[in-house]
């Protein structure tokens, strides 16, 4: 899916309420354009239990869609977002196409499309 999206000239962005330890690896491995997640504080090689900067929550995810769209000079209605949890609903509300991927029922109810039985490559069927 990501390869096809990149071939189509789309920007690929991972915005997660998880941690940069994981998302930065995915960004590199999957050749994503951008990743945005929570950064854990490390002092003397040990986690302190604190998050540096703002926590990536529902509002931060929505803001990322708005900022990335503005950076590209396109309206948020041109954005395609994929989510699975309640913290994805805010970004889904501003995107032109919201896709619930194996998501909780509340997310499926709000998304324009729900994928429950395919892999992420099922997204490609929406564009054929």
At 79-112, the pLDDT tens digits run 999 999 999 999 999 999 999 999 999 999 999 9
**What is the SS3 assignment for 116?**
coil
What pLDDT score was predicted for residue 128?
72
Average pLDDT value over all residues in the chain: 95
At 6-17, the pLDDT tens digits run 898 899 999 999
Burial 83-122 (b: 16+ CB within 10 A, else e): bbeebbbbbbebbebbbbbebeeebbebbebbbeeeeeee
Q: What are the structural domains, with CATH classification, of the chain?
A: 2-123 (3.40.50.1000)
């Amino acid at each position: 899916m990501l390869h096809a999206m990149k071939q189509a000239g789309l920007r690929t962005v991972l915005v997660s309420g998880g941690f940069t330890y994981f998302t930065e690896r995915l960004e590199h491995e999957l050749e994503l354009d951008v990743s945005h997640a929570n950064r854990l504080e490390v002092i003397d090689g040990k986690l302190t239990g604190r998050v540096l900067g703002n926590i990536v929550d529902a509002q931060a995810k929505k803001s990322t869609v708005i900022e990335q769209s503005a950076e590209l000079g396109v309206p948020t209605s041109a954005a395609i977002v994929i989510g699975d949890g309640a913290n994805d609903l805010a970004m889904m509300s501003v995107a032109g196409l919201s896709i619930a991927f194996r998501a909780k029922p509340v997310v499926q109810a709000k998304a324009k499309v729900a994928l429950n039985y395919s892999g992420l490559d099922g997204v490609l069927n929406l564009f054929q």
